[in-house]
Structure 1
Amino acid sequence: TKESKEFLSNHNTYNTLLAFASITVGHKDSSHHGSVCFMLNGEFSRHISSMNSGHLTPSFSQLYILDANEALNLRTQNTLCGGDRVNPQTLKILDSVLRNINPFAKVYKNFHSQYMSVLEKDGKDAVRNFRLTIIEEREAPAIVRGKGLHPRQVNLPQEKAMFSVWTESSEPPKIKGTYITDLQGCLFEVKPYNATVDSLSYPLLFPHGDDGYHENIPFNPNSPKYAKKSTNNPINDNEDSTNEQTDDELEIDIDPKKTISYRKYIRYRLAIRRTDSPHNIWSAGGGLSQKFVLDYAARIDAQVADYLRQPEFNLLKTTAPDVLDHMRRDGDLQPNSKIGSVVLFRKYHPGTRPYFQDMFYDATTIMARTRRPGLASFMFTFTTNPYWPEISRNFFHKGQKIVDRFDILCRIYADKLRKLHFLLNKKHIFGKILGYAESMEFQKRIGGPHLHRVFCVDTEATPENIDGLIWAHIPEKPADSDKSAWANFIRKVLELLPKFQIHDCGEHCKGSNGRCLKGFPKPYSRTTILHANKPAEYKRPSPEDGGQTLTLKNGSTETTYTNSRIVPYNPYILVMFECHHNLEYAYGQSDNLKYALKYPFKGPSFSYIKCQDGTVSIDEPAQYARMLYRSPPEAHCRIYSQRYAYLSHTVIPLSIHLPGEQNIYFKDAEKLNNAANGILPETHLTQYWKMWKNNEIDKNILL
């Protein structure tokens, strides 16, 4: 219906107008074709208002203590949140539903009624200690009735377990949670780990006030760990390690044997099951599912950051003085500035600067050891196609948009990536792989993932071999009478070239001088020419030399493209995956390596925050949260631990140190006493020299 289409297109706006708690975060709209696509920046903060608005206009939870018609008028007048762009009748119906079924709406209304009754009867002093507490801690139910069900699916949340109402004049008891009092115009922060934060922030996704994550959700060890594998899978799963598809990350489990982690809970929330018809999250429109998943990914990052901020992980005492001096200089601090604490990411935390630095060093080592003179190396870019038919086939309804089903986009991309790895690494379509380094980044428009790979093979680097692997020309159209497999293959290439491999310069790719930053149109060349220290010239015959052309219609206009506009491609990859890609011959020994991993490096290394006492704390996770622009597909990949980088070899770095002068990290007195007695821990370097000394074969292993 017309009303349902309007509701879906403004789903996020309706949710914001009806939410009990506000969400504050920087964002920008990266839409290019009419669809809403959010990219959020900064740390999420969630606040709930005090019971009385004071001189301010009532908003969010304060509207639920007002008459429904009065609340509707205030919401439609809220132009900042889009109240003037929605259907008032739909807004009224949704408000009525939430007032009837949402436990917080009921409790908040009753709390306000009690407050006003006592205030009128006994005066202001009698209500000064009135307080509504949104309880943070939960107790897991003792009995779970279904093996595949979350406890809260069986037991609906009870108001007594969610809220604590204190209506006495004496001091209220201390309860861990978010307090709501009668202070006029105040905001109270709702912690991201509060079990009610989802229901307060996203009432249209959780209208019944469903509980969210808490520390006591039991882990069911009897649930199947892996789904049944399809026998029609073209990829041999036994040949690929399970760890190949995910990054090993820091999992914060309260008790990993009894309870589940935040990340696992979020994956449970986002999973699509047969009983979900339709799925309440992935049926959302208007950017609501995008904001929800971005919020979840930010909470995971915040949990890891809070874990690293524990006092025992303060790296101030183990950070070298010269490194601290560098931090002072880098932050424009005075030489005598006092540093209070040092909180840094570890290299095993994916997506951060230390992670990519470590991967880059490993990639440099791999390429330096595996490249061979006279053999070919390539740089390959593989881009997501948002119009893959597998994506649209999994939409919940006909009018659903790709920007609201980025979960399918990421899953289909991961499946295509597995198939691509199989063709490159197992089938050796470019030759036997000697070494490779690969990184993932995300597009600017819909935020879809794509990869950059540098790899070397055992194929001889000759113009003839490169000409067979890399095409930068339009093939000649076969005769209509030719029904051979090759002729049909060329027809498919000609069908896909206009969709994916033509570079039509627009304003986005032009520099200040008006020229294309990618160097198009490319110069023509009758043959493929390889150079030692500059890009190869691929076969691009001009129309005068017999080169083919493509004429495309755009409305009433026609545009003719020659080979100078063709992005280098591999015809087999083009037909197999039907997406944009770019295959280049990597010249020289190291000139093209940095390109594969340079994009994911974001922001400076450290953050400097001045405290009230004048000291400075170095908090890298805080800087990461403030500086990072993240798209919904990237948030989805972070939640599911999809790898940012792939390497062909495992590199074990050997930190050089003099005998007996290795770094020592300790938390307890035992290790400190051992060090004082000369009992030093082994390092990779000391273990390597022991292995090298005792084994003749290992002496041939190069450092």
Structure 2
Amino acid sequence: MLPNSGYLYYSVDASVDIRASVAATARSRRSTPRNNSSYPIQSTDPAQCRQKRRKLLKQHCLVWGGAASAYSATLECAQFDDDFVEALKVSYPGRSYHGPPTQQCSNCKAIFWNAESVGKEARTSSGSPIYNKCCKGGQIVIPPFLPRPEPLASMARFDGGSVSKKFMKNIRRYNCLFAFSSMGANIDRTMNDGRGPPVFKICGQIHHRIGSLIPPHGRPPKFIQLYVYDTSAEVGNRIASLEREDTIASDLDPTIVQSLVNMLDEHNLFAKQFRMARDRLAGNDTEDFVIRIVGPKNGDPPQYSLPATDQLAMLVVGDFSCEEFERDIIVQKQTGDLDQISALHPAFMALQYPLLFPYAERGWQTGVLYTGATQSAQNAHVKLTMQDYYCYMFHYRRNEPNPYLCYGPLSTQANVDAWACVDENRLKYIMDHQADIRMESIQGICDAISRGSEQGSEVGKMIVLPASYTGGRRYMIQNYHDGIAICREYGPPDFFVTFTCNPKWLEISEAIFEPGQTPADRNDIIVRVFNIKLEELLHDIRCGKPFGPSNAGIIIYRQKNHSFYLHPFVYYLF
């Protein structure tokens, strides 16, 4: 794939025969030393020759094939003229266009592009391409979500009427009204200034906490307490419970709130248990009891495959032992403390997003084996990881409701929350396996003295992130050392290319099958199309046709405000 437009840094003659120049370049490259120019550039300054040679090669790259190759542009100015740029745009579909995702996984029915298949020649027995980023070739089997109940099904539409538009615009606020748990995070709200698509950005760690059934004296009810305390004015209490940042410019309809209350009371397992606690408190407010949300034990089947049952959330009356229920979530009757919910609990997401999971569907849990796998000492990688689970969920399947893809800003928030859990799980693994990365070599007293530590309190155990952790300090230093080593061997790079993602690519718009959805609602498609075109660009650079064989290169990725950037540094032998 080649860029649509660009800037040049040197000039050549007014008219250039592209195909003849490329052939001449290929012949001269084989017989010309690296530091000599093989082009008719009238200059004795080596730096200027290098700059002009780079410009001509970029021209060859831009018009290497398709309709644009027959167009001879005027190349005397420092920028492509408008006619040349338009010719490149017209030829774009013929150079880099993959169409809509027409392929379907034979196991889980996830849709994908042919360019995403594993090996272009690999095929299944039926002749279809092989794709394993969704279910790992049938090793992951998760039952589909049930159709959403009313009125959620009719309101959560991108092509609905005025009520649907009002609901989808404020869906994150409506979900906050009914969340059983509170989400603690440093949310950056400065990015949503109206000049772009809505962005949900957090800094630091995410915490999900749950409180008691009854609020402390003198405090208004929030979250789970709204299901139990003063339900005679429930709608008003829920709207008043929003924080100041969430109530600015909001348009919450009390009618919609009441309809959602009725829906959750009828279908949500957690709401039913908390309503039961409300009725029990109304009859005897001195009785001591707790709500127990059951967690899986070793060897238990996956809870997401079990039907909704009262055995997964129950009211426990009388004395109980917290040690006995150490894997469960225990909701006390009245206490001033908040308990943190583990990201490893299957009800972690359902407690925070009741509008995404109206039936209180359970999520990922530890210890679940791949389908058909057996646990043995020789094969340790047989268990479903958290990343495997969410990769499965982040794939679209036709005619199946997907809470992670089809609910606009609320799905975006859930995606950020899910990947924060995945990263937290990785960090916990690193913390628990510090002995495997030879921590003793950087925890000694000599190392502390070399760092300038003078007090004994400054010497202690550190949690070290290995270079394999993306984004960590050692990861950045390792990449820096790699780049410096390449520069020491080959000198400065010949090309510095910036490759960005365009949300208006045809593949992105054609992959949105939900009526009314926009690319801002489907970040998963943007990322996948960007990766497809990225691999195509890297193939064009590495294949040796536009510029010749490359000696070395380094690639830097970064993301900024929904846009993805790629910076390849490429070294060629001229």
TM-score grouping bracket, smaller chain normalisation: 0.5 to 0.7
Match in the other structure for 1:345: 465
Match in the other structure for 1:442: 559
Q: Does 1:8 align with 2:128?
A: no
Distance, in Å, in 2 between the alignment partners of 1:452 and 1:61 is 47
Match in the other structure for 1:685: none
Q: 2:279 aligns with which of 109, 113, 123?
A: 113
Superposition deviation, residue 97 in structure 1? 0.8
Question: How is 1:146-295 mapped onto 2 (pairs within 5 angstroms)?
Answer: 154-160=305-311, 162-169=312-319, 174-176=324-326, 177-221=328-372, 256-276=380-400, 278-285=401-408, 287-295=409-417
Q: Per the alignment, do residues 390 and 311 of structure 1 end up closer, same or farther by CA in structure 2, a change over 3 Å counting? A: closer
Q: Does 1:71 align with 2:234?
A: yes
Distance, in Å, in 2 between the alignment partners of 1:265 and 1:256 is 18
Q: 1:360 aligns with which of 462, 480, 483?
A: 480
Letter in 2 for 1:292: A
Distance, in Å, in 2 between the alignment partners of 1:456 and 1:173 is 61
Match in the other structure for 1:42: 204
Q: Per the alignment, do residues 304 and 409 of structure 1 end up closer, same or farther by CA in structure 2, a change over 3 Å counting? A: same
Deviation track 1:547-582 (CA, whole Å, cap 9, x = no partner) reads xxxxxxxxxxxxxxxxxxxxxxxxxxxxxxxxxxxx
Q: 1:101 aligns with which of 255, 267, 271?
A: 267
Superposition deviation, residue 141 in structure 1? 6.5
Superposition deviation, residue 213 in structure 1? 1.2
Match in the other structure for 1:249: none
Question: How is 1:154-553 mapped onto 2 (pairs within 5 angstroms)?
Answer: 154-160=305-311, 162-169=312-319, 174-176=324-326, 177-221=328-372, 256-276=380-400, 278-285=401-408, 287-310=409-432, 313=435, 317-319=440-442, 320-325=444-449, 329=452, 334-371=454-491, 377-443=494-560, 445-446=561-562, 448-459=563-574
Match in the other structure for 1:619: none
Match in the other structure for 2:114: none
Contact 1:132 1:179 survives alignment (8 Å) = yes
Contact 1:441 1:449 survives alignment (8 Å) = yes
Q: Per the alignment, do residues 371 and 312 of structure 1 end up closer, same or farther by CA in structure 2, a change over 3 Å counting? A: closer
Question: How is 1:545-564 mapped onto 2 (pairs within 5 angstroms)?
Answer: none
Superposition deviation, residue 260 in structure 1? 0.6
Match in the other structure for 2:290: 131
Which segment is superposed worse, 189-198 or 311-320?
311-320
Deviation track 1:632-655 (CA, whole Å, cap 9, x = no partner) reads xxxxxxxxxxxxxxxxxxxxxxxx
Superposition deviation, residue 78 in structure 1? 3.3
Superposition deviation, residue 264 in structure 1? 0.6
Match in the other structure for 1:20: 180
Superposition deviation, residue 139 in structure 1? 6.3
Partner SS, residue 175 of structure 2: helix
Distance, in Å, in 2 between the alignment partners of 1:269 and 1:325 is 49
Superposition deviation, residue 442 in structure 1? 0.5
Superposition deviation, residue 256 in structure 1? 4.3
Letter in 1 for 2:212: S
Superposition deviation, residue 258 in structure 1? 4.1
Contact 2:303 2:346 survives alignment (8 Å) = no
Partner SS, residue 318 of structure 1: helix
Contact 1:219 1:260 survives alignment (8 Å) = yes
Letter in 2 for 1:268: Y
Contact 2:369 2:383 survives alignment (8 Å) = yes
Letter in 2 for 1:96: N
TM-score (norm 1): 0.53
Superposition deviation, residue 170 in structure 1? 6.3
Contact 1:382 1:451 survives alignment (8 Å) = yes
Distance, in Å, in 2 between the alignment partners of 1:403 and 1:326 is 50
Distance, in Å, in 2 between the alignment partners of 1:64 and 1:3 is 25
Contact 2:396 2:402 survives alignment (8 Å) = yes
Q: 1:82 aligns with which of 237, 246, 267?
A: 246
Letter in 2 for 1:361: H
Distance, in Å, in 1 between the alignment partners of 2:322 and 2:163 is 47
Superposition deviation, residue 356 in structure 1? 2.1
Distance, in Å, in 1 between the alignment partners of 2:314 and 2:506 is 51
Distance, in Å, in 2 between the alignment partners of 1:188 and 1:337 is 31
Distance, in Å, in 1 between the alignment partners of 2:213 and 2:454 is 46
Task: Report the count of equivalent residues.
Answer: 402
Q: Per the alignment, do residues 418 and 389 of structure 1 end up closer, same or farther by CA in structure 2, a change over 3 Å counting? A: same
Partner SS, residue 203 of structure 1: coil
Distance, in Å, in 2 between the alignment partners of 1:78 and 1:396 is 36
Fraction of identical pairs, as percent: 21
Distance, in Å, in 2 between the alignment partners of 1:207 and 1:109 is 16
Contact 1:15 1:203 survives alignment (8 Å) = yes
Letter in 1 for 2:180: F
Contact 2:541 2:547 survives alignment (8 Å) = yes
TM-score (norm 2): 0.65
Distance, in Å, in 2 between the alignment partners of 1:356 and 1:408 is 28
Deviation track 1:17-52 (CA, whole Å, cap 9, x = no partner) reads 111111010121323525321221011011112011
Q: Per the alignment, do residues 256 and 262 of structure 1 end up closer, same or farther by CA in structure 2, a change over 3 Å counting? A: farther
Letter in 2 for 1:14: Y
Distance, in Å, in 1 between the alignment partners of 2:517 and 2:266 is 29
Contact 2:183 2:209 survives alignment (8 Å) = yes
Letter in 2 for 1:179: I
Give the alignment's Cα RMSD to 1 decimal: 2.8
Q: Per the alignment, do residues 426 and 311 of structure 1 end up closer, same or farther by CA in structure 2, a change over 3 Å counting? A: closer
Contact 1:27 1:41 survives alignment (8 Å) = yes
Letter in 2 for 1:284: Y
Q: Per the alignment, do residues 208 and 395 of structure 1 end up closer, same or farther by CA in structure 2, a change over 3 Å counting? A: same
Q: Per the alignment, do residues 258 and 377 of structure 1 end up closer, same or farther by CA in structure 2, a change over 3 Å counting? A: closer
Deviation track 1:651-679 (CA, whole Å, cap 9, x = no partner) reads xxxxxxxxxxxxxxxxxxxxxxxxxxxxx
Contact 2:434 2:464 survives alignment (8 Å) = no
Distance, in Å, in 2 between the alignment partners of 1:347 and 1:312 is 13
Instruction: Structure 2: state its 5+ residue gaps.
Output: 1-160
Letter in 2 for 1:134: I
Deviation track 1:121-143 (CA, whole Å, cap 9, x = no partner) reads xxx4x52xx2222223256666x
Letter in 1 for 2:246: G
Distance, in Å, in 2 between the alignment partners of 1:342 and 1:85 is 48
Contact 1:283 1:396 survives alignment (8 Å) = no
Partner SS, residue 457 of structure 2: coil
Distance, in Å, in 2 between the alignment partners of 1:108 and 1:262 is 29
Contact 1:132 1:164 survives alignment (8 Å) = yes
Deviation track 1:602-635 (CA, whole Å, cap 9, x = no partner) reads xxxxxxxxxxxxxxxxxxxxxxxxxxxxxxxxxx
Partner SS, residue 52 of structure 1: coil
